[in-house]
Amino acid sequence: MPLVRVTMIKGKPAEYIKQLSQSIYDTLVEEYLMPKNDMFQIIEQLEPGALIYDRQFGIDGERSDDFILINIESDARRRDEKQAFVARLVEKLAASPGLSPDDVFVRLSANTVMDDWSFGGGKVASDIEYPAG
């Protein structure tokens, strides 16, 4: 049940946002074994100057103005699953919409139980029966 929040500088066209969203979704389904159609994303675009980041911290290259922060909140994953997910995510984002791996900052945050979520209807997620596959 990942909740994705992407923060970026304003100015990208709708097709870019669509490709960005789809690449994140596809990687979650492939690598995080997220159920299909479990798509909840917030794409926020900030005015230039409102997203402040170091251009080189923690990477060998340099970040550009295309830099994005991806925050993903989901149930817990093992370290190897996180590594595989992040590696595949930057590959997919490089292919579509064309982001440099150095411009992709990912933060993974875990919830411990399904009772931490409600998808609506006044029910916690652990009370819902999910369709197979």
CA separation for the pair 10, 98 (Å, rounded): 17
At residue 76 the predicted structure's pLDDT band, cuts being 50, 70 and 90, is confident
At residue 131 the predicted structure's pLDDT band, cuts being 50, 70 and 90, is low
CA separation for the pair 103, 68 (Å, rounded): 6
Inter-residue contact 2 to 21 (CB < 8 Å) = no
pLDDT averaged over every residue in the chain: 90
CA separation for the pair 71, 107 (Å, rounded): 5
Please count the residues of the chain: 133
Chain segment 8-40, per-residue pLDDT in tens: 999 999 999 999 999 999 999 999 888 888 899
